[in-house]
Structure 1
């Protein structure tokens, strides 16, 4: 690679295509309308590790100052807000993806700086609307995405640049010598290629800051770098004056606040399962190491009880069919332990049931091909439920659909949703290629969740 464009293409298409596509998808959700919450929940639920990370962060004081226990992704979005959960998802994806690829000291150092800067920007922002808080958090976190992406790759250039920096070469000169461009130029290219949004584009653009929030982010990133040499190190006092103008605080008061914020960054690092970076944060006290979150359990009766309680609360307060069905979908996926789940409702023609909510891996093809005629005909007509929830057993001659050889060909849980005795929708759940037979315990739990969705429909029908 001998140009910025070459590095951007290489990082986007060869080294980090999944991260690039997922970040792009999450950012595009901000422009979505009624289905924004559901789509974000589905993106998170498709990854068990990401689900665990988001729920862990949702129960930290940094995001959840009410200390209300959060046990589902949909509840986290409702209670804490779409923008906050989006920020959790982006930060968790970034950390997990990069650290799975490399443990280079430079990568850990860059991650520590990014997390520290993000926490500082969020805590220092004077006008604290929910959207603005998370905007500056993500802006600071991704301001050096080019450098983070580069150090996560096992390339000859990474080894060469690492060697030059160890020999004391100035950073910018070493970058241009080895990469034929700078990290800042790669970052600007990735921000455009990954569609990370106009605010981050302004943050990484050359020249004067275009807004107070942009200025705060840039100064927070600079603070994270300078603080590695101590709170009274070279360049810190002039930077404090700039931050004082950004925040409207006195420099002396601000210095104390910065130390508190750095401690918050250390706590967040532990919550995210990367306690090793706390040693790279200024004044870190080495908080106790927690085990990183593991994959979601196959079946979790305790979680099932938590979600059912949440459903009861929702039904007794102000029933909302969208929120109830999202909780039911998540409950079947995570608590009942089914690999893939879908809620199907009538289409505009009224002749077919089509997916409205989905959870689990390998469900993208369902958006176009998971169609069940109401009269029970067609390739998937046998899935149409009647009566109480049951375990669907496929015929030996059952056929699948394009891009999904298991749908209709593996055992599954199916259950109907009725309104005035008429079929209006259904829930479907299977274990994909695992071909595992759902147990009677899973069927019972599945039935409990469906009862809540049915109760919500009944309550709304009487209003």
Structure 2
């Protein structure tokens, strides 16, 4: 008997399958959270209870509560109850919905089409939230979630393990995606979304956003236009389609088109930062470029930023001083090496359960998705990547034999790189590797020093945890 689910050919069948088989926990939790609409004392306690019932969701909400996107006061938040009090019921509710959705989908099946759809959804959500006029917090979070979930049918589908997902993936991109969806699925993403919005009881605002009717309010119109903008901007910021959308958004928010044009560029930068806060930095490369020249291949390596290095190192030190968490610290170290040290591509390899291999745990930068399966160092034999194993932080010269991962990456081994180990006692448990991909630029001694400082923070975390 095959483990593959049956094929589905109607909207109702897809909605039932996604709700009851693929994503029942997500569906039920979203129903519970959306049911909480009034910020009364009892409802606040209920929201805190829903979040605290899931350790991963709690961690994510607290991380977001301390991000600049949500926490303008910069006051450190350590409990969910405090987050609701300081940042607001609606903001924390929005964080919980967003985190739950993103974490659930990514854990299930991080295929390229899902990551692309998530990038568009998050970009649209940030645009809608930042563009909405006024300071009504409930309205701002409503449009954020509205844009994030506008294509929930597409997101849920790409996270599913069905034969039809593979078939549809093989047919894309296509000039008429709705027709291809109808042919293979018997329905469209839009129809599945409408079915899920009703089935999961996502509320009247979401129903209005995804309906086939005309927009019932400027907020609904803004969400729809933000979703379209996120998709069209992938082709560039000065296309006729984008210009038309900017004019429509200007009408939604009662601003001049030129003002809106400037704001949406800044909002895209905001989306890149919030992607890190949501734990999906890999989608940053899928967001539209903020400048007209950003679509061209990068010809110069990024430069080190000493001020940013210091800032990130201070954040890591504060994290270590409070409650060391190796996963969080390593994520911050990888980001620091990428953004502040100025290395285009970074990977952290850690020992697997059997401790026989070093396998990718954290990846950041263009072209690193292909490393997930192939960038593996066997600790017991002299495999092709064994030359990367070092006992101290150093600049690695190009390897004399050429590419070390010729199947998936033409540059590893052919370009100068940085490498640095992590130890648990005398035992090697991890390895950081960073390079500039296709660029010939050799890391400088200053970059090596900064690289070493970041790795020392990860090493300190391991040491502290060993003593605990």
**Fold match (TM-score > 0.5):** yes
Give the whole-Å Cα distance in 1 for the aligned partners of 2:162 and 2:240: 33
Displacement of 1:127 after TM fit? 2.6
Give the whole-Å Cα distance in 2 for the aligned partners of 1:128 and 1:216: 16
Correspondence 1:431-442 to 2 at 5 A: none
Q: Match of 2:76, SS?
A: coil
Give the whole-Å Cα distance in 2 for the aligned partners of 1:184 and 1:79: 37
Q: Paired residue for 1:241, among 228, 240, 247?
A: 247
Q: Paired residue for 1:225, among 231, 246, 260?
A: 231
Higher gyration radius (CA): 1
Q: Match of 1:35, SS?
A: helix
In structure 2, the residue matched to 1:250 is: 256
Give the whole-Å Cα distance in 1 for the aligned partners of 2:225 and 2:175: 25
Displacement of 1:68 after TM fit? 1.1
Give the whole-Å Cα distance in 1 for the aligned partners of 2:270 and 2:321: 33
| Contact 1:120/1:261 (8 A) holds in 2 | yes
Q: 1:124-166: per-residue Cα shift (whole Å, max 9, x none)? A: 0013301101000000000000000000011111011111114
| Runs (4+) off by over 4 Å | 284-290, 300-303
In structure 1, the residue matched to 2:96 is: 89
Give the whole-Å Cα distance in 1 for the aligned partners of 2:201 and 2:145: 13
Q: 1:275-303: per-residue Cα shift (whole Å, max 9, x none)? A: 0000011126999999xxxxxx9xx9946
Determine whether 1:44 maps to 2:51.
yes
Determine whether 1:23 maps to 2:30.
yes
Correspondence 1:117-266 to 2 at 5 A: 117-166=124-173, 168=174, 170-266=176-272
Cα distance change, pair 201–88 in 1 and its aligned pair in 2 (3 A) = same
Displacement of 1:23 after TM fit? 0.4
Q: Paired residue for 1:58, among 65, 84, 89?
A: 65
Determine whether 1:270 maps to 2:280.
no
| Contact 2:122/2:271 (8 A) holds in 1 | yes
Displacement of 1:69 after TM fit? 1.0
Q: 1:396-438: per-residue Cα shift (whole Å, max 9, x none)? A: xxxxxxxxxxxxxxxxxxxxxxxxxxxxxxxxxxxxxxxxxxx
Q: Which runs of 5+ in 1 are unaligned?
A: 291-296, 304-463
In structure 1, the residue matched to 2:448 is: none
Give the whole-Å Cα distance in 2 for the aligned partners of 1:275 and 1:266: 8
Determine whether 1:13 maps to 2:20.
yes
Determine whether 1:107 maps to 2:114.
yes
Q: Which runs of 5+ in 2 are unaligned?
A: 1-7, 295-301, 313-318, 324-468
Give the whole-Å Cα distance in 2 for the aligned partners of 1:180 and 1:47: 36
| Contact 1:226/1:234 (8 A) holds in 2 | no
Correspondence 1:412-451 to 2 at 5 A: none
Give the whole-Å Cα distance in 2 for the aligned partners of 1:301 and 1:22: 34
| Contact 2:39/2:89 (8 A) holds in 1 | no
Determine whether 1:80 maps to 2:87.
yes
Q: Figure out how many residues of one structure are paired with residues of the other and give that number.
A: 295
Q: Match of 1:259, SS?
A: helix
RMSD over equivalenced CA pairs, Å:
2.3
Q: 1:334-373: per-residue Cα shift (whole Å, max 9, x none)? A: xxxxxxxxxxxxxxxxxxxxxxxxxxxxxxxxxxxxxxxx
